[in-house]
Structure formats: structure tokens, C-alpha cells
Amino acid sequence: MVNPIRSTLWVFAATLSVAALPSNAQVKVIDSSPVTAAQTQTTAVAPVSPGADLLTRMELLQQEVLELRGLVEQQAFEIKRLKQQRLDDYTDLDQRISALLNGKAVPAINPGINPLPNQTQNTQPDLPNNQTAAAGTADIPSERQLYRQAIDLLLKQKDFQGSAQRLEQYLEYYPQGLFAPNSQYWLGEIHLSNGETEQAKSWFSKLLNDYPGHAKIPDAKFKLGKIHFEQGDTATARQLLVEVSQSGTAAAELARNFMAANQL
């Protein structure tokens, strides 16, 4: 048996030990619950690996490339459409003028076609030698306006002489203009239709010298070939007509037919 007196003394001693602690002392509480791995992780975000960042950038670049490719294809289609429209406009105008100069019925104007190519640039005319800069250019029609006046005189009013004067005026003010090659060619055609062979020959030759790569060159060569043949220069006529026959243009068949009919 435990001695009652000893037991009482132990309890009294423990009470005195507790009473001797400072009043602000705190007892550290230890949580005995298990600690998980998630609770030991810090709040800092783990850094992204360089490989993952590079893959993300590549995906973004691929997406941008696809978008740009779509825009390029759309622009290419629009450019192709505009080029075809310009070609149709030019062909329509060319056919109507050629029919008029050859004494045929002029085809009706397609209401959806602008008879002149669009000109976006504002070209400043070259003043003739007998005019000074002080005279200014206020009274000089624009390049497009002057050429349109010449074509309207030719097609609508059948005024060959007036049209030729406007075309020559155009070449005087705009010698390097957008419509300069066409002006030279139609001047040759107008003079040829009037029986003015030498003037026509001069304008066709000038076109060949000034614009050797222009679309009207095969037609001009064909006309020149016929003029040389009528003047008895069969060698020059044959040379020009052979070049036209090998051009792959609409004038090629005309040249072949002419050579066959005249045994050139």
C-alpha cells in the first residue's frame, strides 16, 4: 500500500512547482496529427520549363502564319480579279475602236465596263516649249480627261480629225503618260483609215521604238507589214509579218492569213 502521507507530500510539491512559473509563460502546443506532402509545399509557383515555353511560342507563331496565309490568298484573289477586269475593259475598248476604224458596226458599250483604265496617280503634264511655268496648268486637262476626250470624239462623234488632234495634244502634254502607247497606236490607225499611209507608218514605227514590249506591238507590226507590202518592200513586210505570226497573239492568225494570201 502507498503511504498516505508520502502521496500527500508529492501532490503538495507539484502544486508549488506550478505556482512558481511566471505569469506570462505559455505552454507550447504540439499538433500530433500527421503532416501531408501537400501541406509542406510552399506557395511559390514552380517555374515553367524552357521546353514548354518554346512549344507555346511555336503554337502561337503557327497560328499567326495561318492567319497571314489566309490574308495573302484573299489579296491574291482580289488582285487576279482586278487584273481580269482591267483586261476585259481594255479588250472591250480595243474592239470598239478597231471596229469603228475598219468601218464595221461598233459593239454596244457594256454598262458594267469603264472604257478607260483607272488612273490613281496625279501626273503633272510637261509644258510645251512655247509655254512657260507662269501660264500654269490650271487650263490643261488631266491625263485621263484628255485621253477620254479623244476616245469620245472617235467613238461617239466619229470625229477622226478631232480625235487625232486630242491624241496629239495628249502626247504633247504627257509624252510618258499612261496612255501614250495607245495614243500613238490609235493615231496610226486613224491616219491609215484616212489613207494617210506615211503618217500611219510614222506613228506605228514610233510605237515600236518607244514601247517595244507593249501589248499593241503585234498589231502595229501587222499594220506596218501591210504598209511595206503595199509599197513594194516585200522583204521588210515578210520580216514583220513572220514576227507577228510567231507572237501567239490575236494578230498572229491575221499575219499568217495575209502571208498565205499574198504568198509571202
Please indicate whether residue 1 or residue 257 has the higher confidence score (pLDDT). Answer: 257
Using one digit for the tens of pLDDT, what is the confidence trace for 133-171?
444 455 778 899 999 999 999 888 889 999 999 999 999
Closest CA to 177 of 114, 124, 128, 215: 124
For residues 141 and 119, the answer to whether their CB atoms sit within 8 Å is: no
For residues 174 and 127, the answer to whether their CB atoms sit within 8 Å is: no
Burial of 211 (0-12, 13-18, 19+ CB in 10 A): middle
pLDDT at 258: 95
**Grid cell of 82 as nine digits:** 482586278
Parse the chain into domains and list their residue ranges. 66-106
**Grid cell of 79 as nine digits:** 488582285
Give the total residue count for the chain: 264
* 87 conformational bin, left if phi > 0, alpha if psi -120 to 50, beta if neither: alpha
Rounded-to-integer distance, Cα 224 and Cα 100, Å: 19
Rounded-to-integer distance, Cα 227 and Cα 240, Å: 11
Return all residues near 246 (Cβ < 8 A) that are at least 6 apart: 252
Using one digit for the tens of pLDDT, what is the confidence trace for 96-140?
787 777 665 555 544 333 444 444 344 445 544 444 444 445 577
User: Mean pLDDT over residues 30-46, rounded?
Assistant: 49
pLDDT at 20: 45
**Grid cell of 106 as nine digits:** 461598233
Amino acid at 152: D
**Grid cell of 134 as nine digits:** 507662269
Taken in order 156, 104, 185, 196, the sign of the CA dihedral is negative
Amino acid at 248: G
In which band, very low, low, confident or very high, does the pLDDT at 173 lie, cut at 50, 70 and 90? very high
Rounded-to-integer distance, Cα 84 and Cα 72, Å: 18
Map residue 107 onto helix, strand or coil. Answer: coil
pLDDT at 15 > cutoff 70: no
For residues 123 and 174, the answer to whether their CB atoms sit within 8 Å is: yes
Range with lowest mean pLDDT among 116-120, 182-186, 196-200, 232-236: 116-120
For residues 210 and 184, the answer to whether their CB atoms sit within 8 Å is: yes
User: Mean pLDDT over residues 173-188, rounded?
Assistant: 94
**Grid cell of 253 as nine digits:** 492568225
Please indicate whether residue 203 or residue 23 has the higher confidence score (pLDDT). Answer: 203
Using one digit for the tens of pLDDT, what is the confidence trace for 59-89?
888 888 888 887 787 777 678 677 666 655 5
Rounded-to-integer distance, Cα 196 and Cα 38, Å: 103
pLDDT, the chain, mean: 75
pLDDT at 85: 62
User: Mean pLDDT over residues 47-61, rounded?
Assistant: 78
